[in-house]
Amino acid sequence: MKTIFFPIEKSKTKDILFDLFAVAFITLTPALSHVSALPVYFLEPMRIVALLALVHTSKRNAYLLTIALPLFSFLISSHPSFVKAALISSELALNVFLFYLLSQKISNYFVAALFSIVISKVYYYLLKFSLLQAGLLSGELASSPIWLQAVLSLVFAGYIGWFFKKRIQL
C-alpha cells in the first residue's frame, strides 16, 4: 500500500531492505575474513545471498542481486577481478534461472535446488577452466575444497526445499 509519506509498496520495501543487507554482507565479507583469519569466502557468501533472495524476495530481485553483487564487490574492493565477477554473476544467474525452470518441471524443490546448484557449478568450473587456459584468469581452478562445496550445496538445497515445502503447506 502506497501513501504520500511512504510511496513504496510493502513488497518492494522488503526487497530494498534485503538488498541493503546483501550489499553490507558482501562488502564486509573480506573484512570478516581478515579479522577472523577464516576464509569466509569458502562459505560462498554470494551464493548464500542469491539463494536467500530467491527464497525471501521476488524473482526479479534475485536476478538483480546475482548480477549486481559480484560487480559491486569488484567496484568497491577490486576483488574479484572483473572477469571473475562476470563469471560469478553469470553462474549465479544461471543457478536462479535453473531453479525456477526445474521447480516447474520437478515437484521436489530440494531436487530442483540441488540440480540447479550442481549444474551452475559445472558451468562455472568449465568456463573458469577455459578462462584459465586462455590466460584471462589466474589462480587455481577450485579455490575452496570440493567436499565443502558438496556439503554446502546439500545444505542450501535443503533450506530451499524445506522453505518451499513449508510455504506450500501454509
Domain-embedded: residue 161: yes
Percent of the chain predicted with pLDDT > 70: 91
Number of domains in the chain: 1
pLDDT at 32: 78
pLDDT at 170: 52
Query: In CATH, what number is assigned to the domain containing residue 127?
Result: 1.10.1760
pLDDT at 88: 95
pLDDT at 157: 97
- The span from the CA of 125 to the CA of 166, in Å, is 33
Domain-embedded: residue 137: yes
Q: What are the angstrom distances between the C-alpha of 78 and each of 32, 45, 85, 87, 138?
A: 17, 17, 9, 15, 15
Q: Which domain holds residue 139?
A: 10-169
Domain-embedded: residue 20: yes
**CA 45 remoteness from chain centre:** 7
**In the predicted model, what is the mean pLDDT of the chain?**
89
pLDDT at 146: 93
- Residue 10: left if φ>0, alpha if ψ -120 to 50, beta else—which one? alpha
pLDDT at 37: 77
Domain-embedded: residue 3: no
For the chain, residues with pLDDT lower than 50 are 1
Buried b (16+ CB within 10 A) or exposed e, 40-77: bbeebbbbbbbbbbbbebeeebbbbbbbbbbebbbeee
The model scores a pTM over 0.85: yes
pLDDT at 92: 97
Q: With contact defined as beta carbons under 8 Å apart, do 83 and 136 qualify?
A: yes
pLDDT at 40: 81
